[in-house]
Structure 1
């Protein structure tokens, strides 16, 4: 007589997301003073010395820490981006920053998808009315919406990681739009980080408001316009057909 396999309790699939949210709350309350410009200022000489002795080791350690910060939505992502430019220069720093942020975003996406994402997506598929229409509209403009979430600086990064998972966006689509969409901002933050050593030596903090300067935000808004253009065209075609 064969035994039927036992089903795992439904709450088990929520564990990854629950763990991320728990660590995120604890980290936001306890790590703010550690992942800061003051910490970077105090350890910049040691970091540079270690980089000169073990470049690959520092690069791997940097990526691992950055992935953890993004995956658990911990404070300090901006400091890490600047640190990437400070330690590795514009080209290598940008690659390391974007790679780490993309991996971290994918971790939280998958955690949400395995938990609430599957349940919410199934309920939306079974629903009718406005919610279902919103889901269909998102599917039609999926890539454009995902790019906008990445390009518009006012959207919190963790929100742009969670929302696609909760509404049923495919992982591969999320992955490549994240990797490409964060490039403009990643270059800007890494670029600021390239000169961070001189700023810290003067006892100042890097000016992150640079991203709002017209010559920086202008091209990013231009990319936003290109991303939203397909949505506008589809909307106009839909009105004409109606």
Structure 2
């Protein structure tokens, strides 16, 4: 028992000494938060498309026939169908599959990627004109999202330094080197996922866009932000 008490006392002394050394190393410091924010327009918009035999007003048209028409219309719009059109489901998980030869296909789902809302509006018009109107937005994001995050983190650090300098100067001191950085790892809505309500600025008028060539869809800019907490030595 006596040995245990001696060991506990020794550990307490070591802990106290270590704490004292740290206090001596940085006797005073300032904690600041740096923030950075950027509004960006999505350049990757994913839309789900469903075609089936019941879509045609003129009677039954096979899925294969409608697919050929759809591909032709998309090519007219300058869309690389080999790259940007894939067979998939409505959840946004891109995938491909092989259909059995003895199976009659009455419905098929696709995922199409476009670069802006204007192109999406043209796609809607073109497909509605050939009786393909079942479309829903899946998600919108930026192709350079990771690079934007890196830039915002650096900007947040610079803002933290400026804040520390301003506060330190107000009390006649200087902010020295940083000895602790906490990345809060918050980037806001860098990717927006949609439900079947298709929440774009003019989603309620998508049907009208099929006949009104002047109509266009609009996406609100996405806000991406970053925050860091930094401790600077006060000199």
Verify same fold: TM over 0.5.
no
Q: Comparing both chains, which one has the higher relative contact order based on Cα–Cα distances under 8 Å and sequence gaps of 6 or more?
A: 2
- Structure that is richer in helix per residue: 1
Higher radius of gyration, 1 or 2: 2
Structure with the bigger percentage of strand: 2
TM-score (norm 2): 0.30
